[in-house]
Amino acid sequence: MAIDERQQQYLQAMGIQTWLRRDAKEAVTIHAAQTVTVINMPAAPDTVNAGMEAVALPAGNEVYQYNWDQLKNAVQQCVACDLHRARKNTVFGVGNEQADWMIIGEAPGADEDRQGEPFVGRAGQLLNNMLLAIGLKRERVYIANILKCRPPNNRDPRPDEVVKCEQFLKRQVALVNPKIILAVGRIAAHNLLKTDSSLSQLRGRCFYYGPQNIPVVVTYHPAYLLRSPVEKRKAWQDLLFAQAVSRGATN
């Protein structure tokens, strides 16, 4: 993949150094801490299918007929679980409602609860840089979470909260109808794919979500990458893999 100057800057912000061989037309990416290891490009298209799995959606209720305004309003009014009691704002989702890429995270944190927008804190900054590294501005994608309200002290979402909230996310996915869903982190992956497999088992595979069979690729949560920057190299591989999937490499 040819990497232009701007992308190189974002890759550096992700902690990934790029080197351009004099005789090569393409840049190779090398993690700063591993100067001799060239990152492999994503799996060849014919091997991508190996991880195909379908995740069925249950039969719908009226939420599944809502348009965007009705859906936003329903989320704003929602009192289905106790999380509504402490919230400052619901965090519906943001971005291009016709996006090719949908990013799904876990739940709002303190910054998101305050601003009513997903991924606006430090993890959000890194997510923005990860997206820019593959040429995607934040405004071009659609970003949402498994939960629309902040769990206290950022604890993991509870199953009953996920069940009550998931109709909203399912309708968002159906309305956006993206070419790919990037599930960031264990909680997003587990709840979307209804699995408890480890993240390392889920990475590098293509799953399919809902009646529209939307491809899902799993990667690390940016908050985890802030704590474990050495894993950014693998996240970069995941992004390239997701890019190949979004371009139809699985067909």
| Complex with ligand URA: residue 31 or 170, whichever CB lies closer | 170
**Nearest residue to ligand URA, by Cβ distance, number only:** 105
Strand 16-20 and strand 27-31: the pairing is antiparallel
Query: In angstroms, what is the minimal distance from the CB of 105 to ligand URA?
Result: 3
Cβ at position 106, least distance to ligand URA in Å: 3
Smallest distance, ligand URA to C-beta of residue 63, A: 21
Beta strand spans in the chain (E): 16-20, 27-31, 54-55, 94-95, 101-105, 142-145, 180-184, 207-209, 214-219
Shortest spacing between CB 69 and ligand URA, in angstroms: 22
Q: Using CB under 6 A as the criterion, which residues of the chain lie in contact with ligand URA when the complex forms?
A: 105-109, 112, 118-119, 123, 145, 223
Residue 104 or residue 132: which is nearer to ligand URA going by CB? 104
If the CB atoms of residues 109 and 178 are measured against ligand URA, the closer one turns out to be: 109
Strands 142-145 and 101-105 turn out to be parallel
CA 30 to chain centre: 23
Q: Which is nearer to ligand URA, 42 or 108 (CB)?
A: 108
Helix (H) or strand (E) holding 83: helix 83-86
Nearest alpha carbon to residue 105 among 114, 212, 58, 95: 95
> Degrees (nearest 5) of the Cα angle 114, 178, 99?
60
Smallest gap from Cβ 107 to ligand URA, in A, equals 6
- State the sign of the Cα–Cα–Cα–Cα dihedral 203, 139, 62, 90: positive
Nearest to ligand URA of 29, 161 (CB atom): 161
Residue closer to ligand URA, measured from CB, 48 or 187? 187
Report DSSP state, residue 169.
Answer: H
DSSP character string of 11-37: HHHTTEEEEE-TT-SSEEEEETT-TT-
Distance, CA of 91 to CA of 114 (rounded, Å): 9
State in angstroms the smallest separation of the CB of 66 from ligand URA. Answer: 22
